Amino acid sequence: MTTIVLDAMGSDDHPQPDVIGAVMAAREYGAKIILVGDENQIRPVLNAQNADGLSIRIVHAPETLTMEDKGDKLVRKARRKDAKNSMAVGVDLVKNGDADVFVTAGNTGAAMVTALFRLGRLKGIKRPALAPVFPTATGSCVVLDVGANPDCKPEFLLQFAIMGSIYAEKARGVKNPSVGLISNGEEAGKGSELVKETYPLLAESGLNFYGNVEGKEVIGGAVDVAVTDGFTGNVMLKSSEAVAKLIVDKIKEAIKSGGPLALLGGLLVKPALGSVKKLLDPSDVGAAPLLGVDGLVFIGHGRSDANAIKNAIRVAKEVAEANVLDSIRTAIEESVGKQS
């Protein structure tokens, strides 16, 4: 049975959403879960959920990494052998084979640094990449990187494309996924120097390379995987989230302020609006994988509620059972062999 280790001190409102989401996942998906964090805070929340009979246990970790942990301070806490923070303890459970996946809604930078120092990179991988799934007009698109690597080299983007393709195929069920290179124009000669130098690598990679794609084509569903540097990807992610929220909020405002007929119309279209809101809601996926580290790590949003945590556990479980990590390892080894 797949074992998920969850950082119970991860979300902004920890440990309530984290523990409640874990209980929901254990009930709905039959997940085996280890909650890592301060047991004195976790135990009362768990006891209140009537979780008897569920496969959930607690591993005590008295310390927590926060947004204030940065730079050298963060590195020391992330790499120290006897670290007692919930991320380090949780990642070590994966490293030592006591769990299959680590899931956290904590500080993204802290999670990436902890995973890198304690798990290391897959052999041949230059940089790991954070790979969320974007909703599109035709389904979804895996976009990477969205923050792990603000500055990139062409070979990094090639590896992102390989990892993203495998993730789309194995975890998302997309056959022969198409790969796009995010640029400011569709033509091969368009884009920054990074884009221009990456284009021929992808064209010769053996992947199903679509070519350059603009942001509108990504959202339009032109490709299944889109690769870019972490700076561009992070701006794209945050902008997309903000626009989605703005649209939903403005529709609600218009209905409330439009008088009786608008309110009646709002009731009639409520089911449709609910479907759109679900499509735009990042909690439906729950967390994004950090691809390229030697272990499965998923990072969710700090504002995650119990439903987001539940879905993060679901996605993590599905990826573990699809053997995505082994598939990436094999593909990267083959790619490195071709280049040598």
Do residues 155 and 67 both lie within one domain?
A: no
Q: Is residue 251 part of a domain?
A: yes
Tokens 């919930």, located at residue: 86
Do residues 137 and 53 both lie within one domain?
A: no
pLDDT for 340 equals 47
Residues paired with residue 135 on neighbouring β-strands, in sequence order: 140
Q: Is residue 337 part of a domain?
A: no
Structural domain total, the chain: 2
103 vs 148: CA distance, rounded Å: 17
pLDDT for 286 equals 79
- Identify the segments of the chain with pLDDT beneath 50: 340
Domain CATH for 231: 3.40.718.10
pLDDT for 270 equals 67
Q: How is residue 121 annotated by DSSP?
A: B
Do residues 46 and 168 both lie within one domain?
A: no
Do residues 139 and 271 both lie within one domain?
A: yes
Q: How is residue 283 annotated by DSSP?
A: G
76 vs 90: CA distance, rounded Å: 17
pLDDT for 339 equals 57
Do residues 304 and 258 both lie within one domain?
A: no
Q: Is residue 334 part of a domain?
A: no
Do residues 23 and 100 both lie within one domain?
A: yes
Check whether the bond before 13 is cis (ω within 30° of 0): no
Tell me the residue range of the domain where 8 lies: 3-125+285-329
Do residues 278 and 290 both lie within one domain?
A: no
Do residues 90 and 155 both lie within one domain?
A: no
Do residues 289 and 276 both lie within one domain?
A: no
Domain boundary residue among 282, 297, 316? Answer: 282
Do residues 252 and 116 both lie within one domain?
A: no
Do residues 65 and 138 both lie within one domain?
A: no
Crossing angle (nearest 10°) for helices 71-79 and 108-119:
40
Contact 29, 52 (CB under 8 A): no
pLDDT for 336 equals 59
Do residues 174 and 92 both lie within one domain?
A: no
Q: Is residue 146 part of a domain?
A: yes
Per-residue pLDDT reduced to its tens digit, 46-91: 999 988 889 999 999 998 877 776 777 777 777 788 889 999 999 9
Kindly state the tokens that stand for 95: 């490293």
Q: Is residue 53 part of a domain?
A: yes
Tokens 């599109």, located at residue: 136
What does the chain come to in residues? 340
Q: How is residue 138 annotated by DSSP?
A: S
